Amino acid sequence: MLDAWLALDGSSDRDAVACWVALGAEAIRQPEVREPYERAVRAAHAELAAAVLACLEGEQRSSVESSPLAAGLMAAISGFMQLGVATSGVIPPGTAARTLRAMASGAIDAQPPVKGTR
C-alpha cells in the first residue's frame, strides 16, 4: 500500500503528485476544496488503518494505536510527496517508499504483544 503511494515506476506522474500537494495546500484556505480533500484523505486513512490493524493482529500485537499509526503514515506520505515535488535532491529518487516501509515496520514492531501470545 505504501508503494502504491510513493514507489516510482514507469507510470509515476509528477504532475499528478504536484496537483495533490496543491489541493492539500488549498484545502487549508478554501472550504469548498477542504471538504472533498478531507473525504479523500479520510478514505485513504481508513484503508491504511485497516491494513495496519491487520498487520498488528497478524503479528499478535496490540492494535490500540492502529489509527494513530495510520495517521502518522499518512502524514509521512504527504510530507514525502510535498518534498518530492517542491525540492530537488532532498529525497533521493526511489527511496521514499523504502524509507517509509522501514519506518512502518519499526512502528509495528514497537507495539507490545497481546498478552498471553509471546
Q: Would you say residue 24 lies in a domain?
A: yes
Q: The domain containing residue 39 runs over which residues?
A: 2-109
| Number of domains, the chain | 1
pTM: 0.89
Q: Would you say residue 115 lies in a domain?
A: no
- Residue that the C-alpha cell 480533500 belongs to: 37
User: Which mean pLDDT values do the consecutive 10-residue runs of the chain (118 residues) have?
Assistant: 86 89 96 96 96 96 95 96 92 92 96 82
Q: Would you say residue 48 lies in a domain?
A: yes
Q: What is the DSSP string of 52-99?
A: HHHHHHHTTB--TTHHHHHHHHHHHHHHHHHHHHH-SSSS-TT-HHHH
**What is the pLDDT at residue 8?**
81
**What is the pLDDT at residue 26?**
97
**What is the pLDDT at residue 44?**
95
**What is the pLDDT at residue 11?**
79
Q: Would you say residue 114 lies in a domain?
A: no
Q: Would you say residue 75 lies in a domain?
A: yes
**What is the pLDDT at residue 110?**
96
Q: Would you say residue 14 lies in a domain?
A: yes
